[in-house]
């Protein structure tokens, strides 16, 4: 089956009129939302639970590189790899929650990378639309103190999370090998789960964190001049 798939891909590439490598830079904003479920105390037969949602917005940078194939004058497909740089964080603070002790929690998505398969449609010589699925891998981190089950799991935790998503956009060519693009990208990540003993109550709490990210980006892409592929 793998051989058939490889032969099919090679056939498609060999039948393509032309292909090109490209690279670029996207800049914009990331909007990150996290669904959080806390169970406390775990020692109880029926622990209490609470569900929260948090969100924040930050500046976003994305480096990209890809390989683009034109199957016809209209239809294209690209394999694209991205390196993502997230900024921003969700933050909570309750002063004097227990005597003079405060409660604090921070959550954020950090840097990562992704790969996308992007079929495209060349609407006219200067305008192209694209949409396709992809997988991402990003670091998610939390830092919480003295919560006793209120807003998170006490401690510093981080985990690399896989996610699935979609990228959609449009690109306008203003020279033969230069494009200006606008892109929307959505990724839903898997759960991160942590447990710890709370320092105030000395009881255990478990937290489930499930982030997603929305990216809105504007970018510049440079293409290496097309390499013609000829078939017999």
The domain limits of the chain are: 2-228
**Greater model confidence, 147 or 197:** 197
* Domain 2-228: CATH class, spelled out: mainly beta
Nearest to 136 by CA among 208, 82, 68, 85: 82
pLDDT score for 122: 94
Position 163 confidence tier, pLDDT thresholds 50, 70, 90: very high
Residue 100 predicted with pLDDT over 70 = no
pLDDT score for 16: 47
Q: What is the mean pLDDT of residues 1-11?
A: 51
What is the CA 123 to chain-centroid distance, rounded? Answer: 28
Position 38 confidence tier, pLDDT thresholds 50, 70, 90: confident
For residues 109 and 37, give the distance between their C-alpha atoms in angstroms, rounded to a whole number.
Answer: 17
């Amino acid at each position: 089956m793998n051989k058939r798939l490889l032969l099919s891909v090679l056939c498609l590439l060999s039948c393509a009129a032309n292909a090109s490598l490209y690279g670029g830079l996207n800049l914009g904003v990331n909007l990150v939302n996290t669904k959080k479920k806390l169970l406390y105390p775990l020692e109880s037969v029926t622990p209490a639970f609470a569900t929260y949602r948090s969100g924040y917005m930050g500046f976003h940078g994305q480096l990209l590189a890809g390989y683009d194939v034109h199957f016809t004058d209209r239809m294209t497909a690209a394999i694209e790899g991205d390196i993502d740089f997230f900024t921003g964080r969700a933050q909570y603070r309750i002063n004097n929650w227990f005597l003079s002790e405060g409660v604090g929690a921070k959550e954020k998505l950090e840097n990562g990378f992704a790969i996308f398969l992007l079929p495209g449609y060349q609407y006219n010589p200067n305008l192209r639309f694209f949409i396709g699925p992809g997988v991402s891998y990003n670091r998610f981190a939390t830092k919480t103190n003295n919560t006793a089950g209120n807003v998170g799991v006490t401690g510093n935790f981080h985990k690399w999370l896989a996610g699935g998503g979609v990228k959609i956009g449009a690109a306008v060519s203003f020279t033969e090998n230069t494009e200006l693009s606008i892109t929307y990208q959505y990724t839903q990540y898997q759960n991160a789960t942590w447990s710890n003993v709370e320092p105030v109550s000395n009881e255990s709490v478990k937290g489930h964190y499930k982030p997603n990210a929305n990216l809105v980006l504007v970018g510049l892409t440079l293409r290496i001049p097309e390499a013609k592929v000829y078939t017999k």
